[in-house]
Chains A and B, each alone.
Chain A
Amino acid sequence: MSTLAIALRNLFRNRRRSLATLFAMMIGASSILLFGGYVRNIVYGLQTGYVQEGGHLQLQHRDYFLYGSGDPTAYGIANYDQVIDTLRKDPVLAPLLTVVTPTLEFGGIAGNFAAGVSRTIMASGVVVEDQNALRRWNDYGFPGAPEVMSLSGTGPDAAVIGTGVARVLRLCAPLHVPDCPSPTAKPAPTGAELPADVAILTAREGPTAGSEVANDGTRVELLAATASGAPNVARLRVVKAEGQGIKELDDIYVSLHLAQAQRLLYGSAAPQATAIALQLHHTGDIPAARARLEELLSTSLKGTPLAVYDFQTLHPYYGQTVGLFTAIFGFIAVLIGAIVLFTVGNTMNAAVVERTVEIGTLRAIGLRRSGIRRLFVCEGILIGVLGAALGVTVALILAGLINHSGLTWTPPGRIEPIHLHVRVWGEVRMLVDTALGLTVVAVISAWWPARRASRLQVVEALRHV
C-alpha cells in the first residue's frame, strides 16, 4: 500500500467535494486548451497566409527593407536569376526549399482615363506559376484547396487590382464588383481618349502580345518611374478586382506579370527583381536555411549586396498579433491558475480539518512529519493529474465537436468567412504545458495545507473533535 494509493483512496472519501474540485480543474484546463487551440489556429493561419504570399525568407538588397519603398528600382537585384540558380543548386539549401521566386514591387499611378480618374498604387510583378506553387504550402493542414492566382493563364498585359482601386477607377461595373456604389460627386469628364503625353509613352512601351483587343472598359494605364527616373506607362487589362481584406491595401493593390513589370521599370535594360522569395518545407527550417544563406552570401554569392529577412521581420504585424494573443492567453491562464490554486487549496484545507484525528493517529503510530506532508501533497498531485487529464480529454472532445460543427467566422484581414477551427489535437507542447502547469498549481495549493497538517501536535490532533 503506497502513499499514492492511500492518497487516491482519500481523494474519493468525500466524493462530492473531490468531484467539484476535479470539475473546476477540468473546466480550467479545457478553457485554457480551447482558447490556446483557437489562438494557435489564428497564428498558424496568419503564418500560412504570409508564407503563401512571400515565402519564409526573402533575399533583398540590404537597404531595400528600410529605404526601398521610396525608390524600389534603386535597390533591385540585377543578377537575380543567377542568384536563384545558385540557391536551387545548393546541396544544403535545395532539400529545404519548395519554391524560389523573384518579385518586383514598385509604386506608380493607375489611371482610367476614359473615366477621368487615377490613383497611386503599389504594384507587384510576380511569376504566376511560382506564386501558385507558393499558395500550395499548407504545413498546418488547413482544409480546402488553395486558390490559384487570378492572373493564371492570362496574357502578359493582364493585371489584378484591389476592389478599392476598381472603385476609384470606376471599374466596378465592367469587373462585376459587388457592393460597389457609384460616388455622388462625379469627376469632370476628360474624354475617352488618352492624354497625348500618356499615349506617346504607351506607344513607346509598345504593344504586347494579346493586348490588341477592344477596350471593354477594363483597361487601365499604369504610370511608373523607370530605373533611370523617366516616366513610363504600361496599358494593362484588368482581369479581376479582388478584395484584400484591408481597405488600405484594397485601395492600392495591383498585381501583374513579372515580365510586364520589368519592361515597365527597366525597358530594354537588364531586368531586375526587388526580392527573391524562398519558401521552405517547414517553418522550423528557417534557422538552418538562414544560416546556409548567410554562408552563401559570404562565399559563392560574395559581392552581392544582399541580406536575408524572414517573414516575421518583413511582416511585423505577425509578431504583434502573436504577442497580443500570447499576452491574452497568458492572462487567461494566470486567471484560471489562480482559481485552481484557491479551489484545490480550499479542498485540501477541508481535508486536513476533517482528518485531524487521523493525522494524530498516523503520527502516533510512527509516521514522520514528512510522511504526512507527502500524503497530502500526493493528493494534490492526484487532483492535478486527474483534473488535467479530464481537462485535456474534454478539450479534445469539444475541439472535435467545434471543428465539425461548421461554424464560421471572419478573422481580421480576411474577406471570406472561414471555418472555426480549434487546434488542440496534435498540439503536444500546449497539452503538456497546460497539464503540467495546472498540476504544479495543484501541488502548490496542496503544499500549504500539507505543511500545516504535518506540523500538528500529535496530542492536539488526537483530541480534535
Chain B
Amino acid sequence: MDPLILKSVKKTYRLDKVEVPALVDIDLRIHPHCFTVLSGASGSGKTTLLNLIGCIDRPDEGEVTVAGQAVASLSDNALADFRLRHIGFIFQNFNLLPVLTAYENIEYPLLLTRIPATARRKRVHELLEAVGLSKHERHWPGQLSGGQRQRVAVARALATAPELVLADEPTANLDSQTGAAIIALMRAMQRDYRATFVFSSHDPKILAEADDAVLLQDGRVISHERRRSPGGVQ
C-alpha cells in the first residue's frame, strides 16, 4: 500500500483580497519506504504540500490519502490521533519542547498513545541509542547543540513507529557538516525503521540521497524522478 496519494489537490491562500494559488492540481503518489525529496524554488509550494501531507492543513479541493486513509472526512480529534500514530514531524527549527529533557521529548508522543511505561522506556532508550544520544538523555534542549537537537527531533518523529516521516528543511539551520551527519542519520533510520521519509529541501546533499525527487514550480509538480529503488539500493 502506498503511504501517500494525492489526487487533484488544490490549495489557495488569500492575501487581503488577492487569491494566491499555492498548489494547483497536484497528483502525486509517494512510494513506500522511500526517501522522497520535494524541491523547488522558494514559493513553489513545498511547505504547503508538506502541510497537506502531514494532515495539519486541508486542501480546498482534491483528495489526500495517507496510509490508506482518506483524511478529508476525519474530524479534528481524529486527525490529531491519526497524526500521532501515522506521521512523524521533523522541523527546521527542531521545535523541541524546552521544558522537557531529551528523553522526555522523545517520550512525549508515546505518552499520548498511552502505551505501558515499560514499553515506553524501552522504546525511548532504543531511539536514544539509535541517534547516539544515550548519554544526553537528561539534557535540556538548551544544553544541546543544533545537531543534537535535530537528532532528538528525529528520534521523537520515529517514537510511535509512524509509516510516514515529514521533514521541512531539516538541515537549513545546521552547518554543512552537521547537516550531512543528520542526513546520514535520517537515511539510516529510514532504512532501519522502514519508514517513508518526505522532505522539503534545497539542500543538494539531501537531493543526492533521495530515492524519489519531486520538483515543484508555481504550485505544480514539474517532475517526479525515481532515482533509486526503495531503501536506497540503486
A interface residues (Cβ-Cβ under 8 A, vs B):
1, 6, 9-10, 13, 357-358, 361-371, 457-459, 462
Contacts and interface: CB of A to CB of B under 8 A. Distances in A.
B112 A367 contact: yes
A457 B93 CA distance: 19
Contact of A459 (B57, B80, B104, B160): B57
B45 interface: no
A462 B57 CA distance: 11
Contact of A6 (B51, B77, B91, B99): B99
Identify which of A1, A358, A363, A457 gathers the most chain B CB atoms within 10 Å of its CB.
A1
Nearest to B94: A361
Interface string B77-93: 10011011100010101
Given A366-B112, A367-B112, A458-B56, A361 B100 contact: no
A369 B93 CA distance: 23
B80 A363 contact: yes
Nearest to A460: B57
Nearest to A6: B99
B56 A364 contact: yes
Contacts of A364: 54, 56, 83, 89
A365 B76 contact: no
B8 interface: no
Interface string B52-92: 00101100000000000000000011001101110001010
A335 to B, nearest CB: 34
A458 B77 CA distance: 13
B111 A1 contact: yes
Interface residues of B, number: 27
Given A364-B89, A366-B81, A366-B85, 15 more contacts: A9-B99, A10-B99, A13-B99, A357-B93, A362-B97, A363-B80, A364-B54, A365-B83, A365-B109, A366-B109, A366-B112, A367-B112, A370-B77, A457-B57, A458-B56
A357 B95 contact: yes
Nearest first, the 9 A-B pairs at minimum CB distance are A366-B84, A9-B99, A458-B56, A361-B95, A368-B80, A366-B83, A459-B57, A364-B89, A368-B77
A462 B160 CA distance: 21
20 contacts: A1-B100, A1-B107, A358-B97, A358-B98, A361-B89, A364-B56, A365-B108, A365-B109, A366-B81, A366-B83, A366-B84, A366-B85, A366-B112, A366-B160, A368-B81, A370-B77, A371-B112, A458-B57, A459-B51, A459-B57
Interface of B: 51, 54, 56-57, 76-77, 80-81, 83-85, 89, 91, 93, 95, 97-100, 104, 107-109, 111-112, 156, 160
Nearest to A13: B99
A363 B89 CA distance: 11
A367 B109 CA distance: 8
A365 B89 contact: yes
Contacts of A367: 80, 84, 112
Contacts of A368: 76-77, 80-81
A362 B56 CA distance: 11
Nearest to B96: A361
A244 B214 CA distance: 98
A462 B90 CA distance: 12
